[in-house]
Amino acid sequence: MLDAIVWAAWIVSAAVFAWILWDFVKTNLKYGEDTLISSREGVDDLFGDSSAAGGNKP
Amino acid sequence: MTLQMEAAQPKQQLQLLKVLGPAHIWALGVGIVLVGEFMGWNYAVGKGGAIGALIACWVIGLLYTCVAMIDSEITSTVAAAGGQYTQAKHMIGPLMAFNVGLYLVLAYTMLEAGDVQVAGQLIQIGAGNLGYNIPWQPFTVLALVLLALMNYRGVLATLTVNLVITAAAFTSIIILVIGTQPWNPGAVLLHKELLTGLPYGWIGVLASLHFGIWYYLGIEGTCQAAEEVRSPGRALPMGTMLGIITLLIAAALTWYVCCGLLPWEYLGWDNELAPLYDAAHVTGSPVLTVVLFVGTLFSAIASANGCINDAARAWFSMGRDRYLPIWFGAVHPGYRTPFRSIVFLMPVAAVFALFIPLAQVITFSILSGLLNYTFMPINMMKFRRMWPLGSIQRGFEHPFHPFPSIVLFVLCSITFFAVYLGYGRQLLAMMAFYITASCWFAFYRYRYVKRGDQFTMPWPRPSGY
């Protein structure tokens, strides 16, 4: 019984990790790199959308 | 093929989802920290006795109150993922930012490794109490993978779960306090008999400051959610300040109940893993024992969950600014999470959890955290000088500036000395690591950083520039 619980923990861990890897690879193949890394810092409710405002570029 | 698909898609900008409220911020901060009430703080008792641990609780509580106040002001203005890393980038410069980013990632990843290690060992202990002998490793790995999955699939569910289990863990402390009848001194709690002054004098009190950090380590993690809250100006200060208030109460209650039930020699013993659980055990109540076992387990899981969230955001932010390969700055188009950073850091945490002793892992986390706190007063001073009050809209203005910054700097310096007393070699080894990493960044990596692209906040130019 205890052996089964220990094995179940390993099997569930492996299955979840496999799912993460599968989704990870699928996402990387499906979307272009420009889209995936298009995030920009600081959309702030105090100032509005910084990307729209153009930002401050010293 | 990828290029063809990319061309077919409309150009879009992926951002992290803004879905969090003040309760999630509270859950993130308190969730990371609360495990420190269930274990770890008691080593302060071993250094300075029960009274020494209480002084450490107050002094380090003051340190973290300063941290929370400073963080609340700056983060409610610099509302971007990365927390103190992003603040350092705006206020001081790239080398400081790189170092602060590394402090954050290592502090959270090491704490995460320690948390899942403890979660696995608690399940082993629980099974052992029922008469069964099982290994802890499969449950450590299971906890890590399940929490990583939750973080991978979205921040809202992740921090909602944290809210529930953190509240449950905090409630378990309250239940224990009520169960020990604090209104009836001497019935269960024996402070009169067990409090014995300062066994090692004031040098012991000084040494206990190191482990006093466990009461509060990680509350600054609320800043990492800055880019994902609906209203940074309101949610971040409210969540952070409520978080530190909760922790001050939890720390005081924890000290009170444990030092009233267990002798200081036992509490401060190196092999004493879970003082609150043992305190519940000593009461002889099976209900309290079960409640505190569940509370301890929940606190470890909540802490690991928050740490995965925060380490990934810090790593992601550094990637987005090209301080690390920009590959890490990717956002999942469906779940809107920093998925590459989450996946990359998962095996790192697993290796530390499975193969490195808990004390080493946690010491590395504490030292990285302490370096981060030492940077914060400098950061605050520069923030007020570069953008004085009125020049930029703040979500929160902390009172009595510059006293919190000065107090924080002084207390960090004293705590560094306390750490040096017990872990001097580790402290020096870690400093060597950060100096080496700084050289790598300055002489190699910085050439890839696009300096203008890292500042996208629509702020006025700083005063004097």
- Tell me whether residues A41 and B456 touch, CB distance under 8 A: yes
Task: Indicate yes or no: CB of A50 within 8 angstroms of CB of B458.
Answer: yes
State whether residue B77 sits within 8 Å of chain A by CB.
Answer: yes
Those of residues 103-162 in B touching chain A at CB distance below 8 A are: 127, 132-135, 138-139, 141-142, 145-146, 148-149, 152
DSSP-derived secondary structure for B194-243: H----TTHHHHHHHHHHHHGGGTTTGGGGGGGGGGBS-HHHHHHHHHHHH
Domains in chain B, start-ordered, CATH in brackets? 20-390+401-449 (1.20.1740.10)
Measured CA distances, B356 to B40, B123, B147, B339 (Å): 17, 19, 20, 26
User: How far does B100 lie from chain A, in Å, by closest CA?
Assistant: 17
Q: Quick one: closest CA in B to A15, which residue? A: B145
Identify the H or E element spanning B277: helix B275-282
Q: In the prediction, which pLDDT does B9 show?
A: 46
B98-128: pLDDT as tens digits: 999 999 999 999 999 999 999 999 999 889 9
Q: Enumerate the residues of chain A whose CB falls inside 8 A of the CB of residue B77.
A: 44, 46
Residue B14: both structure tokens together: 């992926």
pLDDT single digits (tens) B25-66: 999 999 999 999 999 899 999 999 999 999 999 999 999 999
How far CA B230 is from CA of A8, B18, B22, B152, B330, in Å, comes to: 39, 5, 9, 20, 21
- CA–CA separation, B401 and B382 (whole Å): 12
Question: Does residue B306 sit at the A interface (CB-CB below 8 Å)?
Answer: no
pLDDT of residue B111: 93
**C-alpha closest to that of B374 among B424, B431, B319:** B431
Q: Which residues in chain B have Cβ-Cβ distances shorter than 8 Å to A53?
A: 458
pTM of the model: 0.92
Residue B2 has pLDDT above 70, yes or no: no
pLDDT in tens, B182-198: 999 989 999 999 998 89
ipTM, interface predicted TM-score of the complex:
0.88
CA dist B162 and B318 (Å) reads 25
Quick: pLDDT tens for B398-448: 999 999 999 999 999 999 999 888 888 888 999 999 999 999 999 999 999
- What is the phi/psi pair of residue B308, to 5°? -60, -45
All residues of chain B having their beta carbon less than 8 Å from the beta carbon of residue A16 are 145-146, 149
Residue B70 CA to residue B96 CA, distance in Å, equals 18
Give residue A52's pLDDT band: very low, low, confident or very high (50, 70, 90): very low
- In chain B, pLDDT over 70 holds for what percent of residues? 97
Kindly list the distances between the CA atom of residue A27 and the CA atoms of B11, B311, B331, B340, B449, in Å, as whole numbers in the listed order. 16, 22, 10, 10, 26
Burial class (CB in 10 A: 0-12, 13-18, 19+), B95: middle
Are the CB atoms for B118 and B300 separated by under 8 Å?
Answer: yes
The string of pLDDT tens digits covering residues B440-452 is: 999 999 999 987 7
Per the omega criterion (within 30 degrees of 0), is the bond before B402 cis? yes
B449 in contact with chain A, both atoms CB, cutoff 8 A: no
